[in-house]
Amino acid sequence: DGGITQSPKYLFRKEGQNVTLSCEQNLNHDAMYWYRQDPGQGLRLIYYSQIVNDFQKGDIAEGYSVSREKKESFPLTVTSAQKNPTAFYLCASSRTVYLWGNSPLHFGNGTRLTVT
């Protein structure tokens, strides 16, 4: 079955450490996204990628970095510069980013990151 795999499900880190969250998809989608979810708030876009070797900042990119070296993979690094990294992180993909595409989002099961 095609889908998106995020790992690990739970991640614990000490303050000051960088941490990388994995996201892999086998849906052959061009577009991939990283969202952050905090209690009582809607999902917020961190970064997105329209195609391999390209990515764009979302609404809350500060303190995060990404890479898109392969179509299937879009890892997110939470750096020590991120002030409030504890959150639930969701990866998503769609066939395309673009307006004209009938392109629903497919989500992974998320990674809950706790930084102490």
List residues near other proteins by CB under 8 A: 31, 33, 40-45, 48, 56, 58, 88, 90, 92, 94, 96-99, 101-110, 112
CA dihedral 1, 104, 93, 110 (to 10 degrees): -80
Smallest gap from residue 46 Cβ to other proteins (A): 12
Smallest gap from residue 90 Cβ to other proteins (A): 6
Residues contacting residue 100 through CB under 8 Å, at least 6 positions apart:
none
Q: Six-digit token pair at 75?
A: 């890892």
Smallest gap from residue 82 Cβ to other proteins (A): 20
| Residue in this structure with the two tokens 């997110």, named with its chain if needed | 76
Instruction: Return the number of the residue (80 or 96) whose C-beta is nearest other proteins.
Output: 96
